[in-house]
Amino acid sequence: MISRKITKTISSVPSRGGDGAEVIYSLRNNDTLAKRITNEIAKTGQNVRKYFQRRLPSNPSKDYYYLLRDTPNNETLIVEYGFADSSGDDVSMIKNNWEELAEAVVRALALYIGVPYDGPTGSNYYTVKSGDTLWKIANANNTSVDAIKKANNLTSNSLTVGQVLLLPSDDTTQSTNTYTVKTGDSLWKIANQYNMTVSALKQLNNLTSDSLQVGQVLKVKDSGTSSNPTSPSNTYTVVSGDSLYKIANRFGVSVSDIMLANNLSNSNLSIGQKLVIPSNTSNNVYTVVSGDSLYKIAQRFNTSVQAIQRLNNLNTTSLSIGQKLLIPNS
């Protein structure tokens, strides 16, 4: 049995014109738990403003909030999940995803006190154990290292025992075939044959280079299952400030695909240059329905909120029923 002081959290929804979640921790405690809570809330797709302390103006040695001052024997925090008068998507996040937001705090607490996190039935979270690696976890859960890193905003492959990871749902194996490499094959040639991008083919097979060997077996998407290929245009005229990276992001394809389609040997562009934009069959088209949020849609398609926003040039996470979204295929 673990013996430690009870950690007390108070949840609230403030109303003062802001946007995003905040965590206020007491002056007597450090920021470790507050930081973990904000990290877990961020995984739900909710914006996070900050975690902070606030002092009483009349006595700076005391906490500003009565709830924090009045529980001196406990580690106490105030978790504000969003703003009731937010001009962003706080209201819809709280209304539609309150369970995920609350569960984020539970995960953070489990991680903080060093106990395994047992999520709700059917949840897709994993608690890191001794000897685990991202590669090992990805293989055991039928996903990829990159997908796990994207889902958890990880910038390295380092893990800590007790860390809670969100496992992206991955239905890839249900819609893949295999292809055996022949003489003269290239990743670009195989990707085109199966209506994929080179980057998607490499990710599906965990390839780190473009080299292939005759007889090598690759996983490929079943071309009969690809959904709604859409590309905003077949050609694009370069304008001032453009780069291959910007153009690739705009059309939801990879830089290498554009270079291959236009026989480019480098990334230099000139204003007025005409570029062929390869057909983007790696993106789905999704129509927003009642109750949707970018977070829910991202989870459904095994991608990130930021990737959907970037592909659709969205400046906010607000959605409208009937809205058409391009969904990047991870």
Do residues 162 and 127 lie in contact, with contact meaning Cβ atoms separated by under 8 Å? yes
How confident is the model at residue 137, as a pLDDT?
Answer: 85
Distance CA 329, CA 171 (A): 11
The phi and psi torsions of 278 (rounded to 5 degrees) equal: -60, 145
Do residues 324 and 289 lie in contact, with contact meaning Cβ atoms separated by under 8 Å? no
CA 162 remoteness from chain centre: 21
Contacts of 169 (CB under 8 A, 6+ apart): 124, 299, 300, 302
How confident is the model at residue 3, as a pLDDT?
Answer: 32
In single-letter form, the type of residue at position 109 comes to L
Least confident of 17-26, 224-233, 253-262: 224-233
Least confident of 7-16, 106-115, 187-196, 302-311: 7-16
Whether the CA torsion 63, 66, 70, 74 is positive or negative: it is negative
Distance CA 296, CA 116 (A): 25
Average pLDDT of 123-141? 81
Distance CA 78, CA 255 (A): 45
> Does this model's pTM top 0.85?
no
CA 187 remoteness from chain centre: 27
Distance CA 17, CA 312 (A): 27
User: Which bin fits 181, alpha (ψ -120 to 50), beta or left (φ > 0)?
Assistant: beta
pLDDT digits (tens, 9 = 90+) for 133-191: 888 888 777 777 888 887 777 778 888 887 878 787 644 333 446 778 887 788 877 87
Tell me the percentage of the chain whose pLDDT exceeds 70. Answer: 82
Is the pLDDT at 92 greater than 90? The verdict is no
pLDDT digits (tens, 9 = 90+) for 45-91: 788 888 999 999 999 999 999 889 988 788 889 999 888 887 777 78
Helix 32-43 and helix 90-113, axial crossing angle in degrees, nearest 10: 130
How confident is the model at residue 95, as a pLDDT?
Answer: 80
Is the pLDDT at 112 greater than 80? The verdict is yes
Do residues 54 and 24 lie in contact, with contact meaning Cβ atoms separated by under 8 Å? yes
